[in-house]
Amino acid sequence: MIDPDGLPGFPPLPDAAATVPEAASLLRLVQALDTAALEVTDGELRALVLFDRREVLDGYLQHRQTVITGPEVLDHLEGVATARTRLHWLPAEVLRVLPCWWRVPTQVTIGPNRWMDGELLVRSFARPGQRGIVCVRGSAALGVALIEDGEVRGAYRAGGDRVGDVSEVAPLFDDPAAMVFSRVEAPGMVREAPRDHLLDDIEQAVRAEIHDYADPAVAVFHSVPPTREGLLEAADQVERMRIRMISPDRMQSVADRARRLILDSDR
């Protein structure tokens, strides 16, 4: 199943440390799990159930064109043989963020661009109070970075052999067809509507400064809460961004133009 962004509906996982359980039944397996991701593949049914310290965090199940989410996914797996399962021994901080793959809509799409500094771009989405997933899709590979509360908690490639830091996905930006999809949320925050088309004005100013290279900077402004404070923080992030072919002085000019628009909107 492919979603509207062209990404797989089922969350991509690394093969690192994946094992086939030896439990006699799925019930006994679930009762013994502490912190792990349980993957089930049974014909046209695919499911993922996330556990942290013996609690079910969330679940995702797809069967043909039907999708079910939440802890109740376990109820739909009764009778599945343990031979149809795999366990992914992922860190708890990765498991906590992974549900953003199916729970949070894509907020920002960038690319394809050759000139992005991949690591800096991914880190630009990591802000205090926010969590989510940044996906990098190349021609032949898919990378996932999981962010929470200002930090990258882990990154991997689909089917890859390890969970590491941003360097696991940064090489995908060398692919001229690479695209970035950000699914980031601020739990408990109600997003305000942008005032007086301010975001449109900022985007126009950014594109006037750096033209075809503007997409990563524009994405930063669209990914923050559209408040005065959020947009000013985005301007600071943009000033620190390094985009190939664009000088630091030009990035400072971009940020300054955005700041003037933000501050003028309060008058």
Report pLDDT for 112. 74
pLDDT of residue 189: 55
Supply the pLDDT for residue 69.
97
Convert 160-196 to b/e letters by CB count within 10 Å (16 or more is b).
beebbebebbbbbbebeebbbbbbbbbeeeeeeebee
Would you give the DSSP letter of residue 214?
Answer: -
The pLDDT value given to residue 52: 96
d(CA 178, CA 174): 8
106, 219 contact by CB (below 8 A) = no
pLDDT in tens, the chain (267 residues): 889 889 999 999 998 778 888 888 999 999 999 999 999 999 999 999 999 999 999 999 999 889 999 999 999 999 899 999 999 999 999 999 999 999 999 988 887 765 567 888 888 888 888 899 999 999 999 999 999 998 999 999 999 999 999 999 999 988 888 999 999 987 765 455 555 589 999 999 999 999 888 888 888 888 777 888 889 988 998 888 877 778 889 999 999 999 999 998 876
Give residue 114's pLDDT.
55
Beta-carbon contacts of 171 under 8 Å, excluding residues fewer than 6 positions away, are 118
- List CB contacts of 185: < 8 A, sequence separation 6 or more: 100, 103, 104, 130, 131, 132
Q: In terms of Cα–Cα distance, which of 138, 98, 109 is closest to 13?
A: 98
